[in-house]
Amino acid sequence: MNDFLTEASFWVPDRLTPSGWLEHAPFAFWLIEAHKPRVLVELGSHTGYSYLAFCQAIQKLGLKTRAHAVDTWQGDEHAGFYGEEVFQELKEYHQPRYAAFSRLIRSTFDDALAEFEDGSIDLLHIDGRHFYEDVKHDFEVWFPKLSGRGIVLFHDTQVRERGFGVFKLWEDVVQKYPHFEFVHGHGLGVLGTGRQLPQLLSQLFAASADEHGADQVRLSYSRLGGALSDRLGNQEAAVKVSEHQDTLELSKSHSRNLQAALVASHKNIVQLEKSIVTLQTNLEHAGRELNARSLHVAKLEQLIAAAESDIDNLTNDLQAITDRVAHSEQNAAIAHSRSEELEKELEFRLNEVAELEAVAIVAQNKKDALEASIQSQSKIIAELKCHINSSDIRTEKIETLLYERDAVVAKLATELNALKTSISWRLTTPIRKISNGIRNLFQHGTNGNR
């Protein structure tokens, strides 16, 4: 037992906090002293209790170990899910104490593999998600990273609920490698995968075959771990006692304050009783005033009702007026539209009158020309008659001319009759009358203006 219990086994964690790993800190201190790992990697640190215990031992022993904690710090089904405050609290504690040789790697386990060379890790602590497939996967993918001095720790080897499968993997690996298992604190399996293990660790694995010796080791570390649980319980109890004492002091102070408040309240009650009498008197006056105001309000409500009735009547009259105005505006619009149509019709008729006047002027010119031609022929006839008697020789010629003249006269008479009976002549007759009337009216208006 002297080999498996040293001074380091009795150290107390600097940061003693609630954790499933709480009772394994004494063995962690002994393991770091006995193994002296060159590279330490922990998969799944959560609040950092186990990892900080490793770091405390490394620092206290003055080792050159490089330590690495790998976690997403988001939680899982077994550790529970949590917020950013868990990582920040661990980081604030870790950085000023152990940053010189330790790193917090915020990553998944698989993504962190590239950070380490094969055969480089002496101590690997697997404490991530505890389903059988997850633990097996973590062990298999990280196995090539283990050195010839490789040691693997498995936590929760004694848990057989909530889907935990570490115990199944432990049953598999102990068939191949030297091992030792602690059954307290949910179980902790220690597996020797390397062939160049330190002597003390080889002795520990050999003790596993000695039931009595193994029980002595387990009992020793179980009691040391239990002492830590008791210490943590005492700390929590001391905190609670301190809180109770603070509460008691607050209660006493509160009691004194209540007594003072009670005296003040008694004085206030006397004053309030006086105030109540005054208020009752004021209330009676207020009641009488309220009745008077109620009557006044009732009258006002009657006046308001009458005013609302008048407003309704005025509103109806206004609506009727509005309807009439709208109807008048509609009629005005119709009249305006009809006026525009009549103006267009008048303009069209005036254009027709102008065209017919032009036709009448042409017809009058033709008539005047025919009348002039008839007068000219009449003169010719008169001259011919004068010459008939003067020359018998020219008689035949004159008769011919007379015949031609008669034909021309007949033709002109026919054309004149046709002109007088034509549609244009008849159509222009009213226009000629209107035109003559307009000229006379214009002349009369002009003379009047003069």
Q: What is the pLDDT of residues 173-230, one digit of tens each?
A: 999 999 999 999 999 999 999 999 999 999 999 999 888 989 999 999 999 999 999 9
Please tell me the distance from the alpha carbon of residue 412 to that of residue 216, in angstroms, as a whole number.
Answer: 166
Residue pair 124/150 in contact (Cβ under 8 Å)? The answer is yes
Residue length of the chain: 450
User: Parallel, antiparallel, or unpaired for β 66-71 and 39-43?
Assistant: parallel
Alpha-carbon separation of residue 204 from 115, 180, 200 (angstroms): 31, 7, 6
Please tell me the distance from the alpha carbon of residue 91 to that of residue 96, in angstroms, as a whole number.
Answer: 9
Assign 126 to helix, strand or coil: strand
User: Parallel, antiparallel, or unpaired for β 121-126 and 146-155?
Assistant: parallel
Identify the sign of the CA torsion 147, 150, 155, 156. positive
Nearest to 123 by CA among 71, 188, 54: 54
Residue with tokens 């868990």: 86
Q: What is the pLDDT of residues 280-327, one digit of tens each?
A: 776 677 577 767 777 776 776 787 677 678 767 767 876 876 778 578
Where the chain has pLDDT below 50, the residues are 446, 449-450
pTM reported for the whole predicted model: 0.55
pLDDT of residue 407: 84
Beta-bridge mates of residue 133: none
User: What phi and psi, each to the nearest 5 degrees, are found at residue 92?
Assistant: -65, -35
Asked if CATH classification 1.10.1510.10 holds for the domain at 7-209, the reply, yes or no, is no
Identify the sign of the CA torsion 297, 303, 307, 313. positive
Strands across the sheet containing 146-155: 102-106, 66-71, 39-43, 121-126, 146-155, 188-192, 179-182
Q: What is the pLDDT of residues 45-69, one digit of tens each?
A: 999 999 999 999 999 999 999 999 9
Q: How does DSSP assign 142-210, residue by residue? A: HGGGEEEEEEEEEE-TT--STT--HHHHHHHHTTTS-EEEE-STT-EEEEE--SS--HHHHHHHHHTT-
pLDDT of residue 334: 80
pLDDT of residue 245: 65
Which pair of tokens denotes residue 371? 């009348």
pLDDT of residue 166: 96
pLDDT of residue 395: 64
Identify the sign of the CA torsion 212, 213, 215, 219. positive
Please tell me the distance from the alpha carbon of residue 187 to that of residue 202, in angstroms, as a whole number.
Answer: 20
Ordered by start, the domain boundaries in the chain are 7-209, 354-449
DSSP letter, residue 15 = S
Exposed/middle/buried for 436, CB within 10 Å: 0-12, 13-18, 19+? exposed
